[in-house]
Structure 1
Amino acid sequence: MPLNVLTLNVGNPAVERARRQRDWLARRNEDVLVLTETGSGPGTQLIAESYRDAGWSVTFPEHPDKERGVMLLARFECTVDPINAAMSYLPARLAGIAVDTDDGPLRILGAYVPSRDATEVKTTRKREWIEAFHQAYDATSDQAAVLLLGDLNVLEPGHVPPHPGQFAPFETALYTALTHRHGLTDLFRTLHPTAVEHSWARRAELGYRYDHAHASIRLLPHLAGCSYVHDTRSGKPALTDHSGLAVQLTLTATAPLITSDPAADHEATLF
């Protein structure tokens, strides 16, 4: 069976929107969901509890009040990846799982990189998180293949449209360092070298490709698909202001869980 993974920025949802997001996600066929911009409130908790009650593995690091982060949901047995514990700054924004596949171990990591504005506080915050990410990645690197997904809040060099002056060199350097420092390849660009796609847009003509999937080169022979899922932001009301990003790998997880429908007619245990 192929291994299907989806990343989606859920925008720290309130309960009503979280319920709609959960129901939409439950209709998808992905085996792993990497949710970004999660929070500590009841909306994110509803998603976590619904999937936990349905038998999924839920990896959800502690979120300090008002801080944002990531959550990973998987329909097979997994262990918590050490990268979250290695993060020295805003650790809720980086987490992962380790799974066994028919081609060896696979680390699936989720990242939600801080955004930035013109203030020194936000600039320093993003710079410090990026440096902490590099250190944590280096410290936990091993022989396992890596799939890194999430909202990186950064654009690739040569992005269309270019958005000149909006990103500092240290931000663009994060994107290039994923390849040159950590050996990870942009999967969407591997399959679609010249395509113009955006995962977030203030206006239709001013889009940004913020959401990414990068993987170890050894995973490229297993890459069967990588595409954006835009209906998450096209509905009325929209599920979120980000598109999802779906990845298909010709790998099989060797320890599937017995799971049920996360959107079944039962309330999450918190409510």
Structure 2
Amino acid sequence: MQMFSILTVNIGAASRERAEVMLRWLAARPEDVFILTETSAGAGTTYLLDKFRQAGFAVVHTPDATGDRGTALVSRVSVTDTLSGHFAGVSIPGRVASALLATEPAVAVLGVYVPSRDRSVEKTEKKQAFINSLLARLDALPDELRERLVLGGDYNVIARTHQPLHPGFLAFEFGLLEAIEAHGFVDAHERCSPGEQVYSWIGRTGDGYRYDYFHVGQALGAHIMGCAYLQETREQRLTDHAAVTLQLDVTVQSRLETSDPADTTEADAMTLF
């Protein structure tokens, strides 16, 4: 059986220059699907997604009309459905990206970028509305689809069991993880490394936060083969978040014909004419 893998990383609204470095790093990765969070309306995101499209990857991305940050899903596995109808009710559509992939069993992927907030009422309400609308859409999914769903991205929340338990998080933020797991989703890292506290973002004071996750639907729980946090993206200053990678023992039925998105040979040649 062929291994199937997914990676999620917050690209931090990459500038055009940083996007070039990020693209080279992603192009060297073996994963079949990339979930890119904190995309933007800037030149960096445009460059990244255009390069993937030109290389033959499937790209699912809904730019926000207001310029808000968002999520993109990039796949070298054929996409059989974007599942857009199932998640149309999310309060900020550009912050989710979903696809049903040509695998056996069929895997659905939902990438999410939950809004961050400060102490202001406006940003708190924005975050709560997004979480509530996301959970409502998960509630409304057919059971058979929910059980084959891989949920991943930057949730911008921590668990009540987080060590250290940072102050300032509200009940609805803890409630996101609790509601996800109440639906039978498996925390992939916890399944692979029980009780191990890991961090994906480090604050200015040096405190660590686990903001980035993979959760796997109940029918796929037994298929989890590995989950790891890759600190090299922070250490190499590609972004201020660690990447997270997930491996599942499912079969890929249809791969797209893709080339190296970081190979500029063809683009350089075209500029000569």
TM category, shorter: over 0.9
Equivalences for 1:158-197 in 2 at 5 Å? 158-164=161-167, 166-180=168-182, 182-197=183-198
Deviation (angstroms), 1:62: 2.2
Unaligned runs of 5+ in 1: none
Q: Deviations over 1:94-129 (max 9, x none)?
A: 1210013222x2110100001111111111111111
Runs of 4+ that moved beyond 3 A: none
How many residues get paired?
A: 264
Deviation (angstroms), 1:135: 1.7
Q: Does the C-alpha gap of structure 1 residues 251 and 88 become closer, same or farther in structure 2, counting only changes over 3 Å?
A: closer
CA contact (8 A) 2:77 2:102 kept: no
SS at match of 2:102: strand
Deviation (angstroms), 1:240: 0.1
When the two chains are superposed, the root-mean-square deviation of aligned CA atoms in Å is: 1.7
Equivalences for 1:15-164 in 2 at 5 Å? 15-78=16-79, 79-82=81-84, 85-103=87-105, 105-144=106-145, 145-164=148-167
Q: Distance in 2 between matches of 1:124 and 1:216?
A: 28
TM-score by length of 1: 0.93
Deviation (angstroms), 1:12: 0.7
Q: Does the C-alpha gap of structure 1 residues 83 and 185 become closer, same or farther in structure 2, counting only changes over 3 Å?
A: farther
Q: Distance in 2 between matches of 1:203 and 1:41?
A: 25
Q: Does the C-alpha gap of structure 1 residues 106 and 147 become closer, same or farther in structure 2, counting only changes over 3 Å?
A: same
TM-score by length of 2: 0.92
**Deviating more after overlay: 2-11 vs 88-97:** 88-97
CA contact (8 A) 2:86 2:141 kept: no
Write the letter of the residue equivalent to 1:27: A
Deviation (angstroms), 1:203: 4.4
Deviation (angstroms), 1:66: 2.7
Write the letter of the residue equivalent to 1:246: T
Q: Distance in 2 between matches of 1:127 and 1:19?
A: 34
**Overall identity of the aligned pairs, in %:** 36
Q: Does the C-alpha gap of structure 1 residues 13 and 25 become closer, same or farther in structure 2, counting only changes over 3 Å?
A: same
